[in-house]
């Protein structure tokens, strides 16, 4: 589709701008050809000639984000869903926002379907790319923001509970992004510390009250001493984390206070969250 | 439903021409069998079946919309 327009203007720049506006394109997406140089004529009055240019849209190579876009578009077509996909660049990655009526079906329980779509969209976008991998975020109109609010509220509620009961609280399994939200929400809360435990996809956040002895169990046991990073354990070691996919597992769904020691032994700590892999094993 | 599996699989594999999905009806449920080139198996299954799971999740959403029961198997 070699879309092309011819425009005139007092100057070449003016003609260019008019052409870009008409094509709805950015400067680097268009090739310009000067058809006529402008001339001022005599005292700018007689015989002045406008600049004339031709602007043609350059056939752009389909980038990674287009592949993700195409895949989603095709899926929604087959689902008979009327979805508009809006593209936007954000600092977290390329954001594809799905807009339409009744898109709850694309979100699923706790965003499972949305995450699955996002995952395949990322795979499609980065297929064959070893470097320069792009990150694609798929959202349904404000869902991720709402979910973030929900998780933050949950985090402070459970932190309060941990404080009150003196016991650690294990959340349900969450993906990396959601765990980050919990960790971040509580990182400035000096009364609790948080870390992640277990292997994907069952990895969960644990909220633990600090000064647990006052909480009333396990006399003489201070895990702060044992691990050497009590205060702000989540944040303090940000330079020493490394990614580990095969950490020791603790996948127990239900967790009773008597089992705390074994659990602690298998525990891993979530590192600082900078969007990269961020888990690292605890010192043994 | 069948096409959705095809579309996703083709977007992920190196040999999209070898992607075939067979559709079978079993006791009111639909079984979709996804076939890909041998060296593309990993591309549709993924580490710990993560990709397979994502494909199933998307198909399940589509099936729910049509009140159908659909299983996806990779063979």
Q: What is the pLDDT of residues B57-72, one digit of tens each?
A: 999 999 988 888 999 9
The Cα of A127 is separated from the nearest Cα of chain B by a number of Å equal to: 7
Which residue does chain A place closest to B43, by CA atoms?
A123
CB of A78 less than 8 A from some CB of B: yes
Q: What region, left, alpha or beta, does residue B41 occupy, with left being phi > 0 and alpha being psi -120 to 50 degrees?
A: alpha
pLDDT in tens, A149-195: 999 999 999 999 999 998 999 999 888 888 999 999 999 888 999 99
Decide: helix, strand or coil at residue A74. Answer: helix
Contact A71 B62 (CB under 8 A): no
Does ipTM top 0.90?
A: yes
Question: What does the alpha-carbon distance between residue A89 and residue A71 come to, in Å, rounded to a whole number?
Answer: 18
Strands laid side by side in the A4-9 sheet: A4-9, A51-57, A30-36
Residue A243 near chain B (CB below 8 Å): no
B70 vs A: CB within 8 A = no
Q: Which residue of A has its CA nearest to B55?
A: A116
DSSP B22-65: EEEEETTEEEEEEE--GGGHHHHH-GGGHHHHHHHHHHHHHHHH
The residue length of chain B stands at 75
Q: Is the pLDDT of residue A232 over 50?
A: no
Residue A213: the pLDDT is 52
User: Which residues does chain A have within 8 Å of residue B55's beta carbon, measured at their own beta carbons?
Assistant: 116, 120
A52 forms beta bridges with A8, A36
Find the mean pLDDT for residues A259-265. Answer: 30
Exposure string over A99-114, b if 16+ CB within 10 A, otherwise e: eeeebeebbbeebbbb
Rounded to whole angstroms, how far apart are CA atoms A282 and A28? 49
B4, A78 contact by CB (below 8 A): yes
Interhelix angle A112-125/B2-12, nearest 10 degrees: 40
pLDDT digits (tens, 9 = 90+) for A39-59: 876 665 667 788 899 988 877
Closest partner CB to A124 (pick from B11, B58, B61): B11
Average pLDDT estimate for B12-28: 92
Q: How confident is the model at residue A202 (pLDDT cuts 50, 70, 90)?
A: confident
Sign of the dihedral defined by the CA atoms of residues A36, A38, A42, A46, in that order: positive
Average pLDDT of chain B?
93
Give residue for tokens 């005599």. A42
The residue of chain B nearest to residue A122, with distances taken between CA atoms, is B12
Q: How confident is the model at residue A2 (pLDDT cuts 50, 70, 90)?
A: low
């Amino acid at each position: 589709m070699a879309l092309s327009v011819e425009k005139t203007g007092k100057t070449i720049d003016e003609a260019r701008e008019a052409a870009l506006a008409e094509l709805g394109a950015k400067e680097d997406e268009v090739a310009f050809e000067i058809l006529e140089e402008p001339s001022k004529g005599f005292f700018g009055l007689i015989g002045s000639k406008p600049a004339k240019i031709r602007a043609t849209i350059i056939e752009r190579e389909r980038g990674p984000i287009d592949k993700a876009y195409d895949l989603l578009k095709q899926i929604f077509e087959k689902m008979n869903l009327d979805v508009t996909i809006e593209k936007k660049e954000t600092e977290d990655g390329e954001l594809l926002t799905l807009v339409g009526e009744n898109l709850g079906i694309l979100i699923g329980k706790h965003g499972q379907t949305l995450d699955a779509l996002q995952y395949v969209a990322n795979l499609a976008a980065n297929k064959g790319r070893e470097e320069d991998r792009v990150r694609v975020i798929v959202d349904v109109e404000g869902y991720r923001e709402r979910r973030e609010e929900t998780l933050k509220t949950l985090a402070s509620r459970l932190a309060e509970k941990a404080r009150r009961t003196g016991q650690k609280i294990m959340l349900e399994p969450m993906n990396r992004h959601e765990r980050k939200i919990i960790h971040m929400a509580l990182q400035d809360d000096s009364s609790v510390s948080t870390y992640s435990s277990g292997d994907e996809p069952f990895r969960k956040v644990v909220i633990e009250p600090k000064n647990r002895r006052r909480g009333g169990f396990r006399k003489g046991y201070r895990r702060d001493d044992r691990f050497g990073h009590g205060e702000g354990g989540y944040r303090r070691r940000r330079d020493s984390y490394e990614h580990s996919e095969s950490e020791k597992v603790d996948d127990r769904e239900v967790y009773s206070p008597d089992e705390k020691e074994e659990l602690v032994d298998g525990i891993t700590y979530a590192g600082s969250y900078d969007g990269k892999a961020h888990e690292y094993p605890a010192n043994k | 439903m069948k096409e959705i599996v095809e579309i996703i699989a083709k977007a992920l594999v190196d040999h999209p021409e070898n992607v075939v999905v067979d559709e079978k009806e079993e006791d009111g449920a639909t079984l979709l069998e996804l076939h890909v080139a041998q060296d593309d198996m990993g591309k549709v299954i993924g580490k710990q079946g993560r990709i397979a799971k994502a494909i199933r999740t998307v198909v399940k959403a589509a099936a729910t919309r049509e009140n159908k029961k659909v299983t996806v198997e990779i063979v």
